[in-house]
Amino acid sequence: MSGESGADGDGAAGADPNARPLRVAVTGTPGTGKSTATALLEDEYDVIHLNDLIKGDDALWTERDVDRDTLVADLDAVRERLDDWSGVLDSHLAHRFAVDRVVVLRCHPETIEARLRERGEAEATAEENSEPGEPSRALARKAHENAEPDEPSRALARKAHENAEPGEPPRALARKAHENAESEALDVILSEAVAEHGVENVYEIDTTDRDPAAVADEIRAAIRGEREPSAGTVDFIDYISRAREDRDGK
């Protein structure tokens, strides 16, 4: 889902880092394991799975992107619906809301792409739409589409998927999974979270080789203030480099 407005300006910048946060966003590119990990925290915290909330209420989204089978979320309506919430907010949109801390789950783009293809994403989701007029994933896509000859190109990726063998995932699904993988390699959600909440309130967690219980433990540590804020410690640019090498080798 995408939204139609940015995060409130009343986030947690300047908050006491030792205070127990009332509102924690768990965000990240689709396929990083947010919902699975946060489900393990439900006995300790009030966990709101925002994508499910939006999909279940027509008043919380404005339109459906037919090409990608996604919903465009109305973030103002979502804020009104959440009202004076507290706990853990799970969604790739969670960092767009006023929160005390932001946990950004990261995962290697190749793993994300494989997970999203396996998932199938048959129902309408919010997995990669960008905000109208916002400098987010739409710009990342545009940057690739306008890439120089030596850069990985959306057109090349699209062509490869369109020439896929019978039995492979449908082109729209493959393209969507690839776009999310590139978004992860470009640190799009991490950059948005840092820009909107400040690096001092962001906790980056690499989930690539961790099981859900271990990821939940890391989220719990961030909530309790048992680990230091971190951003920029995870680097997946190798995905872009390999895409370039694969293209050049053809």
> With helix as H, strand as E and coil as C, how does 47-77 read?
EEEHHHHHHCCHHHEEEEECCCCEEEECHHH
Task: Report the C-alpha gap between 43 and 47 in whole angstroms.
Answer: 9
Mean per-residue pLDDT for 237-247? 77
pTM beyond cutoff 0.75: no
User: Which residues pair with residue 205 across a beta bridge?
Assistant: 105
Phi, psi of 116 (to 5 degrees): -70, -35
Q: Give the per-residue pLDDT at 150.
A: 39
Say which range, 82-86, 122-126, 225-229, has the weakest mean pLDDT: 122-126
Amino acid at 111: T
Task: Report the C-alpha gap between 162 and 45 in whole angstroms.
Answer: 44
Mean per-residue pLDDT for 83-104? 96
Say which range, 62-71, 99-108, 203-212, has the weakest mean pLDDT: 62-71
pLDDT digits (tens, 9 = 90+) for 6-64: 455 444 444 555 565 689 999 999 999 999 999 999 999 999 999 999 999 999 999 98
Residue with tokens 């966990």: 47
Q: Contact 172/107 with Cβ under 8 angstroms?
A: no
Question: HSE of 10 in the Cβ direction (CA atoms, 13 Å)?
Answer: 2
